[in-house]
């Protein structure tokens, strides 16, 4: 029998997560059909979060577990690996299985049988909008699901860290009371404004976070040289001619036969640029994803003024916009990003911190100030 959860946030967030999955799964079945996961009930969500949280806080032979659980039946998976006997979903069993499933893309398959939850095996494939719970580090859990089109990074639904609960607000990105800022978000490369289509910049953001060295990217208009006014000349590492592989792939529509190869080529091109963001300085790409330079040093444009204040937001329910000095948002990369966008209103800046924070900077003409939107909760 499922026991009462002892991790209180599991109970606090379960109903909200259940509503999210039921709404989106119903919409997907109406619009797309196909293999769409079944929505889990809140008591199942509650139990899975509770058990996984306590497993994440334990160590086996000095190692903390990195686990991904998917709520689905074996029949909903493509070529699942089935255990000879189902294992009860318990912290002890999760700890014991963790070393075998630490590689990215492997999920432990979990499904209720009678009045209890069981691990039936592992899978690499899950249906669209399948409930997935990932342990990032001790006490840090992310609830997410696969996109309807199946391509690109999973969509995060909620992030739980200890007693902190962050439910993502995909409609207003946490600033329902700031219509002017909602308009400014439309110029940012954010998942909520991209539908279910694959997002190059979101994937680039994930690649930047992966190398854990931090990074700074300036996205500038194609065909414009105005950005050079805010970069120390000469540029240390120019790319000549520009690296256009991403744009070339995006322009070439893949047929059904070579779709997998096309996707792999696109991910490789994105990861290549993501690697250059680890080099000290800014990586400069166009709004068509062409790589122009890396290792560039940002400088305040002539006749511009230092940025003294920015707007800070985060895409979580009940979020509130704050006016802060850019130094309160982070270190030198954040200051450089805020200044660059303040001088180059048609540019966007992406900043990855070594601690995993990720912020998108854009100019908001509605409020006449740089808008910094922290999106690391979308990328975990």
pLDDT digit string (tens) for 238-250?
A: 999 999 999 898 8
Neighbours of 144 (CB within 10 A): 20
Which region among 74-78, 136-140, 222-226, 323-327 has the lowest average model confidence (pLDDT)?
Answer: 323-327
pLDDT confidence of residue 195: 43
Residue 254 has pLDDT above 70, yes or no: no
pLDDT digit string (tens) for 70-123?
A: 999 999 988 899 999 999 999 999 999 988 888 888 999 999 998 899 999 999
The mean pLDDT value for 168-174 works out to: 69
The mean pLDDT value for 292-310 works out to: 91
Nearest 5°: CA angle at 256, between 255 and 257?
Answer: 90
Residue 259 has pLDDT above 60, yes or no: yes
Pairing of strands 215-220, 140-145: unpaired
Residue 163 has pLDDT above 50, yes or no: yes
Higher pLDDT, 316 or 41: 41
Which region among 156-160, 180-184, 305-309, 333-337 has the lowest average model confidence (pLDDT)?
Answer: 180-184
pLDDT confidence of residue 276: 94
Beta carbons of 279 and 295 less than 8 angstroms apart? yes
Beta carbons of 53 and 7 less than 8 angstroms apart? yes
pTM beyond 0.75: the answer is no
Residue 360 has pLDDT above 80, yes or no: yes
DSSP string, 1-44: -PPPPSSHHHHHHHHHHHHHHHHHHHHHHHHT-SSBPPPPPHHH
Residue 371 has pLDDT above 80, yes or no: yes
Beta carbons of 221 and 363 less than 8 angstroms apart? no
pLDDT digit string (tens) for 28-72?
A: 777 766 678 887 899 999 999 999 999 999 887 778 888 999 999
pLDDT confidence of residue 180: 61
Average pLDDT of the chain is 85
pLDDT-derived band of residue 147, with 50, 70 and 90 as boundaries? confident
pLDDT confidence of residue 257: 54
Q: Record the tokens describing residue 157, joined without a space.
A: 């639904």
Pairing of strands 310-313, 369-374: parallel
The mean pLDDT value for 331-347 works out to: 92
The mean pLDDT value for 224-236 works out to: 93
pLDDT confidence of residue 176: 60
The mean pLDDT value for 286-299 works out to: 94
pLDDT confidence of residue 118: 96
Of all residues in the chain, what percent carry a pLDDT higher than 90? 44
pLDDT confidence of residue 375: 81
Q: Record the tokens describing residue 74, joined without a space.
A: 């074996």
Is 343 exposed, middle or buried (CB count within 10 Å of its CB: 0-12, 13-18, 19+)? buried
pLDDT confidence of residue 197: 44
Q: Rounded to an integer, what is the distance from CA 23 to the centroid of its chain?
A: 21
pLDDT confidence of residue 117: 94
pLDDT digit string (tens) for 180-203?
A: 666 666 666 665 444 444 578 778
Q: Strand, helix or coil at 7?
A: coil
């Amino acid at each position: 029998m499922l026991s009462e959860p002892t991790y209180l946030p599991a109970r606090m967030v379960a109903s909200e997560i259940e509503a999210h999955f039921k709404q989106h799964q119903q919409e997907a079945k109406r619009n797309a059909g196909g293999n769409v996961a079944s929505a889990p009930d809140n008591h199942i969500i509650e139990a899975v979060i509770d058990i996984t949280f306590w497993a994440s806080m334990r160590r086996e032979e000095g190692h903390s577990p990195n686990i991904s659980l998917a709520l689905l039946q074996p029949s909903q998976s493509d070529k699942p690996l089935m255990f000879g006997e189902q294992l009860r979903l318990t912290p002890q069993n999760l700890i014991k299985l963790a070393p075998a499933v630490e590689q990215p893309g492997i999920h432990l398959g979990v499904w209720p049988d009678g009045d209890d939850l069981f691990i039936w095996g592992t899978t690499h494939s899950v249906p669209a909008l399948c409930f997935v719970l990932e342990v990032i580090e001790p006490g840090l859990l992310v609830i997410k699901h696969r996109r309807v089109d199946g391509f690109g990074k999973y969509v995060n639904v909620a992030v739980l860290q200890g007693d902190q609960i962050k439910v993502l607000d995909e409609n207003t990105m946490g600033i329902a009371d700031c219509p002017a800022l909602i308009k400014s978000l439309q110029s940012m490369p954010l998942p909520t404004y991209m539908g279910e289509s694959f997002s190059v910049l979101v994937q680039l953001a994930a690649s930047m976070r992966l190398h854990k060295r931090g990074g700074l990217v300036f996205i500038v208009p194609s065909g414009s040289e105005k950005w050079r006014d805010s970069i120390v000349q000469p540029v240390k590492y120019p790319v000549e001619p520009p690296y256009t592989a991403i744009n070339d792939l995006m322009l070439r529509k893949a047929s059904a036969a070579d779709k997998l190869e096309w996707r792999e080529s696109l991910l490789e091109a994105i990861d290549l640029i993501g690697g250059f963001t680890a080099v000290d300085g800014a990586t400069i790409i166009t709004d068509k994803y062409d790589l122009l330079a890396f290792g560039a040093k940002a400088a305040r444009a002539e006749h511009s003024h230092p940025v003294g204040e920015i707007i800070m937001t985060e895409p979580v329910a009940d979020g509130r916009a704050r006016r802060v000095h850019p130094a309160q948002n982070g270190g030198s990369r954040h200051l450089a990003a805020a200044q660059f966008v303040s001088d180059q209103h048609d540019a966007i800046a992406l900043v990855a911190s070594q601690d995993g924070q990720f912020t998108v900077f854009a100019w908001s003409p509605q409020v006449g100030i740089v808008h910094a939107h922290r999106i690391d909760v979308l990328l975990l």
